[in-house]
Amino acid sequence: MTTAIKQVEAPTAVVQSTSILPGEARQRCYVDAAPNSPWLDAWRAEGRANIVALSQTGHFAMLEQPDKVNDVICDVIKQI
């Protein structure tokens, strides 16, 4: 995973709204203001991605909070 992330040269935003709880239930839950996961930790280690947490948002963030998702996309486009 980190090898692939290191190859990304374009401006990047990682939008996280839900996570899977560990254990057998593997229940989806909302993330808080500073979510943690191996995926996000790998992006943080590279220090090049803008990590955005959308709290109280389900799996389809682009449908539930389209204005916030569009703002994130616009911010990435401005960096190109």
Amino acid 34: pLDDT: 74
Number of structural domains found in the chain: 1
Amino acid 67: pLDDT: 97
Q: 35-59, pLDDT tens digit by residue?
A: 777 888 889 898 889 999 898 898 8
Closest CA to 65 of 18, 26, 27: 18
The range of the structural domain enclosing residue 22 comes to 2-78
Closest CA to 50 of 29, 73, 28, 30: 73
Low-confidence winner among 8-17, 21-30, 40-49, 59-68 (lowest mean pLDDT): 21-30
d(CA 52, CA 43): 12
